[in-house]
Structure formats: C-alpha cells, structure tokens
Amino acid sequence: MDRPFDAAVIGAGWAGLGVSYVMTKAGLSHRVLERGRIGETWLTQRWDSFHLNTPKFQTVMPGDRYEGPDPEGFYTHDEFVALLEDYAKRCCLPVVTNTPVTVLTRDGKAGVYRLFTPVGELTARAVVIASGSLNCARRPELARALPRALLQIDPSVYRNPQALPVGSVLVVGSAQSGGQIAEDLAMAGRVVFLSTGRTGRKPRRYRGRDVSFWEQKSGLFDIPRKDFVGPDGRIAGRPLLGALHTISLQSLSAQGVALLGRFTGIAYGDQVTADLDDVLRRSRHAQAHARGRVEENYGTNRALNGRALRSRSQRKPFWRGGSERPRL
C-alpha cells in the first residue's frame, strides 16, 4: 500500500480549495479529488444571466484580497470559476480533476481513510468532505403529484427563458434563486407566477454602499453559525436580495410577476392552487425582516453612529387572485 497522505479533500469548490490552501501552508501532504472540473458546480448548475450575489470584495479566497477597480461589482459564474482556477494554479494546490470519490471507508486498524475512485484508491489520515451542501436539488413532496405533461425543472437545470416551452411559468419559492429566475423570465416577457415562501428580504444598496459592506462592518459575519439556529433547530433561509440590484416581492410585482401564496397543488390539469390570502402575510413578513434585520444589524452599530434606518411602508399593491385561478 502506498504511504497515506496526511489528508484528502473531496471537492474543488470554494471550500475545498480554501482548505487545500491552508493545508499547503501547513506543509501537509494531501490531494484534492474533484469529480469534474474546478468549480464544477458553478460551471454546470447556474443559469446564463447568473451573477454571484456576494460582491467582489467578499468573493476572495484565503490569503487573497480584492484589489481590482470594482469592489462592489459581481462576478458572473464563469468569472468566478476563472478566479478559482487561477487560485489553484497560483497556489500550486494538488487538485486531481475528473476523479469522483465513489466510496469512503475507514480502516481503523491502519488508522487511515480509504477513498475509492474509478481510477484507483487513495489513503489518507484525515478527510475533509467539501462536496457542497447546495448542489443536490430537493423538491417538495407535492411535486410528485403534478401532471407528467407539466415540465418540472430545478434551478440547477434552468438556463434561460428561451429554453423553456412556450406558455406561462410557475416559480415555486421566493428566495434567492426563485426571485432571480422569476425576474429573468419576467424581463423576457414571460407570464410568471411566483409562489412565495417565508423568506425575508434585504436591500442591495444601503446608505450609498453595498449592503454586504455594512454587514461586514457590523460584525454580522463574525457571529458563529450556532447563534443563527432558531428554537425549531433550523437556520432561517437566506433573505431575497438580488445580485446586480435589489429584487423583492415588490419589485417583482412591479415587473408584472403575479405573486401567489404557498403552492398547494394543481387542479384540473393546469390550474395552480395556492393559498392566495397568504401573499400579503408573506410580503409583510419579508418587509418586517428587512426592517428588523437592517436596523438590528446596522442601525445600531458604531459605523452608523447610532442613526436608525427609517422604515418605508409597503407601496405597491399585490395581485391577490380574485375569482380566476392562474392557469399554466
């Protein structure tokens, strides 16, 4: 058996490469095994108009800092992959591409892990699983009951409005992906229904800066993960924000997207059923979230000298259904 590596990393995404950088600095022998290419998830699971919603000054790898001319701009997914590839090359990270780890076992007697791949086996004394937590789609149970004739896709498969069959589109879920895809479709002139979830929202810009600037300054990113866990043991979903500009239920409504409440199913083949009375409740929740979180996170921090954000009342009326159900 070959001598085991000090460590093995599964996945050459943002996390795996960052861990590899730290291991390289510490002089640990290791390999990063990647099933596809560096940044595979970003190459294959993002839509055409996608931009990261993390500004460039924050989209940096360990040891790096952004020094370009556009710190509050946003990378496309291709630009981000180029950044990852450059990082791996520049830092001489030992990445092995096109090598999926299919089985991982522990050999307690030898004190090593065995990683099996289609091209061979590797042993290591420690393993970091950095295979990503958001690259396997999870559909709600209800999806199974939908008619087969209805094309159902996940955000990882969505590319652009032209790639979808003619007709109206129901987007289920109003967080980052749902909001951005609904806007992408509406801007292309498609009839879009958005079934909303209990997601908060954030403004993209605040007091002349990107909201992330204030989040960083106020120490939001230094709060440990455990402090975000709610009484139900879960971490609330990330608020709707938008990448290049603010996307909110209000902005989508203004763009002609018909807002629905929680998706409850399809009736008579093509009629969407949703809890329509839910919409206002959900939009108020999102609005309250924006107000509460912004004031809580930045309004009282020293960077603002204690000046509080004045909340704006909701201006746009929402589509509330009526006698007719939306048809797909």
What residue ranges bind ligand FAD (CB under 6 A)?
Answer: 10-16, 33-36, 40-41, 52-54, 100-101, 130-132, 134-135, 155, 177
User: Which residue's CB comes closest to ligand FAD?
Assistant: 13
- Whichever of 35 and 281 has its CB closer to ligand FAD, that residue is 35
Query: Minimum CB separation from ligand FAD for residue 306, in Å?
Result: 30
Query: Minimum CB separation from ligand FAD for residue 301, in Å?
Result: 22
Query: Minimum CB separation from ligand FAD for residue 75, in Å?
Result: 8
Q: Computed from CA positions of residues 328, 135, 225, 208, in that sequence, does the dihedral angle turn out positive or negative? A: negative
- Whichever of 200 and 326 has its CB closer to ligand FAD, that residue is 200
- Whichever of 47 and 206 has its CB closer to ligand FAD, that residue is 47
Residue 55 structure tokens: 């500004």
Are 90 and 63 in contact by the 8 Å Cβ rule? The answer is no
* Residue whose entry in the numeric block shows the structure tokens 């402090």: 227
Q: 231 by DSSP, 3-state: which?
A: coil
Query: Minimum CB separation from ligand FAD for residue 310, in Å?
Result: 29
Query: Minimum CB separation from ligand FAD for residue 247, in Å?
Result: 13
- Whichever of 206 and 318 has its CB closer to ligand FAD, that residue is 206
Question: What string of DSSP letters covers 44-88?
Answer: HSS-TT-B-SS-TTT---TT----SS-TT---BHHHHHHHHHHHH
Q: Show the DSSP H helices in the chain as ranges.
A: 14-25, 40-44, 77-90, 176-187, 211-217, 249-254, 278-294
**DSSP class of 175:** S
Query: Minimum CB separation from ligand FAD for residue 129, in Å?
Result: 9
- Whichever of 134 and 163 has its CB closer to ligand FAD, that residue is 134
Alpha-carbon distance of 256 to 190, in angstroms, equals 9
Query: Minimum CB separation from ligand FAD for residue 211, in Å?
Result: 13
Residue 5 structure tokens: 């590596």
Beta strands in 227-311 (DSSP E): 258-260, 263-267, 271-274
Tally of helices (H runs) and strands (E runs) in the chain: 7, 14
- Whichever of 103 and 149 has its CB closer to ligand FAD, that residue is 103
Alpha-carbon distance of 306 to 23, in angstroms, equals 42
- Whichever of 11 and 326 has its CB closer to ligand FAD, that residue is 11
